Amino acid sequence: MTDISKAGTFKLGDRTVKRLGYGAMQLAGPGVFGPPKDRDAALAVLREAIASGVDHIDTSDFYGPHVTNLIIREALHPYPAGLTIVTKIGARRDDKGAWLPAMAPDELRQAVHDNLRNLGLDALDVVNFRRTDGLHEPSEGSIAKEISVLAELQQKGLVKHIGLSNVTLTQVEEARRIVPIVCVQNLYNIAHRNDDTLIDALAAAGIAYVPFFPLGGFTPLQSDTLASVARKLGATPMQVALAWLLRRAPNILLIPGTSSVGHLRENLAAAELDLPADALKVLNGIADEKAAA
């Protein structure tokens, strides 16, 4: 079995977690909507993740909606000691599966209570406020009102720690003036590196950075350079992409998602993949290739 501790650890709230975690988004049905095609397989993936040493799961009650949280509860409750479950709020789904903003104070409060109920928890380990204005690209604008709602819920004991998603450095700084921020979750991968400056700023502050779509998301990473390096290393392109992220900065936590036990094992094996200096230099140029294309 892969030793994911080789990827190291980083602080997340009041816990230290292994840097390779698991993202539950793909446990829902197609388009992250409705039930999974195979519920037993979804349960098996979660249990395999825990058996493999994963101690950090990323989810949201708007996956499904409600689907992934209920599956997590069924598979893992009562939860293992040391497991950190991170959820996010700020969006909702309509009856056709569209993603809609849900950032009003009452919507944020209701989302926290929905997550608590569906996960079977008295308090949420970490709640990320997910800005939904710009889909997967952050846009400027004050988030003080929304963060103040989370700070209120934290004071009531319903939320232990607060994070942010789809935000800019300016918004991170604004939020930190209101409440401690333990993590930021933005779009970032080997081909999409707009957050380089933000990652380094967060590392200096001891704040975790969690890239969503670390493998490209709904459009998986495609790069001849990535494939070539992978062949030379005897690995898959996705393993190399994950290993590159682990090398990029010590505060990066990974949450690759899958609904397959085999794919889960493949992702976790990236913890043991060494990237030699020459391969790293080539991989660092992939973002430039994309920009020039």
Of 265, 255, 168, which Cα lies nearest the Cα of 211? 255
Cα gap 17→126, rounded to integer Å: 13
On the question of pLDDT at 291 being above 70, the answer is no
Instruction: Report pTM.
Output: 0.97
Task: Please give the distance of CA 253 from its chain centroid, rounded to a whole number.
Answer: 8
Could you tell me the pLDDT band of residue 292, with boundaries at 50, 70 and 90?
A: low
Q: What's the first-to-final CA gap in the chain, in angstroms? A: 39
Q: Which of 63, 79, 188, 209 is catalytic?
A: 63
**Mind listing the pLDDT tens digit for each residue in 134-171?**
678 899 999 999 999 999 999 999 999 999 999 999 99
Quick check: is 22 catalytic? no
Question: 247 with 229: CB under 8 angstroms?
Answer: no
What is the SS3 string spanning 135-167?
CCCCCCCCCHHHHHHHHHHHHCCCEEEEEEECC
Q: Which two tokens stand for residue 165?
A: 């998603």
For CA atoms 117, 121, 122, 126, the dihedral sign is negative
Residue 265's pLDDT is 98
Q: Could you tell me the domains of the chain? A: 4-220+242-272 (3.20.20.100)
What is the SS3 string spanning 202-269?
HHHHCCEEEEECCCCCCCCCCCHHHHHHHHHHCCCHHHHHHHHHHHHCCCECECCECCCHHHHHHHHH
Other beta carbons within 10 angstroms of residue 145's beta carbon come to 11
Q: Which two tokens stand for residue 238?
A: 């996705």
Residue 293's pLDDT is 60
On the question of pLDDT at 128 being above 80, the answer is yes
Of 170, 120, 129, 169, which Cα lies nearest the Cα of 148? 129
Of 149, 21, 167, 172, which Cα lies nearest the Cα of 85? 21
Q: What are phi and psi of 7, to 5 degrees?
A: -80, -10
